[in-house]
């Protein structure tokens, strides 16, 4: 479940974003968070599996007319697995049903794996045997 970032969640969001190597520096982290709060094309979501659960990560995207680009996906170490990543991305795709999901240089391989997973789910085929 994705919840749009609010200033009340700033410390939580900064904690999850700080897991990203490029955002370890506090100044860079604050600049990135400012981008998400001031630029309407950049949106930050907090992720949790259930409405009553604690937040488990953040998903940052850049939205355009026909695509949404995954810029950041950072999860708590306790749930940092492919299943949780794909659950967060599934929620993201549901929020932007008419847009293509793309990855940045850092997230492209994850998005490619997720798109393969979605294709397998839709087709009922097992592409891992190739």
Encoded tokens for 11: 């410390």
Q: Can you list the domains of the chain with their CATH numbers?
A: 2-122 (3.40.630.30)
Pairing of strands 100-103, 57-63: unpaired
Average pLDDT over residues 97-101: 94
Stretch (H or E) spanning 108: helix 108-123
pLDDT score of 122 more than 80: no
CA-based radius of gyration for the chain: 15
Averaged pLDDT of the chain: 92
Q: What is the pLDDT of residues 26-68, one digit of tens each?
A: 999 999 999 999 999 999 999 999 999 999 999 999 999 999 9
Alpha helices in 18-107 (DSSP H): 26-38, 82-95
Check if the beta carbon of residue 100 is closer than 8 Å to that of residue 83: no
CB neighbours (10 Å) of residue 37? 15
Pairing of strands 67-75, 57-63: antiparallel
């Amino acid at each position: 479940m994705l919840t749009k970032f609010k200033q009340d969640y700033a410390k939580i969001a900064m904690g999850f974003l700080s897991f990203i190597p490029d955002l370890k520096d506090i100044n860079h982290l604050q600049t990135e968070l400012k981008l998400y709060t001031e630029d309407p094309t950049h949106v930050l979501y907090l992720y949790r599996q259930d409405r009553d659960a604690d937040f488990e990560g953040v998903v940052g995207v850049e939205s355009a007319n026909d695509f949404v680009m995954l810029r950041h996906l950072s999860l708590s170490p306790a749930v940092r697995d492919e299943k949780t990543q794909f659950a967060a991305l599934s929620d993201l795709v549901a929020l932007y049903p008419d847009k293509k999901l793309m990855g940045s240089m850092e997230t492209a391989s994850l998005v490619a794996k997720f798109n393969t997973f979605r294709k397998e789910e839709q087709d009922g085929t097992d592409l891992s045997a190739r």
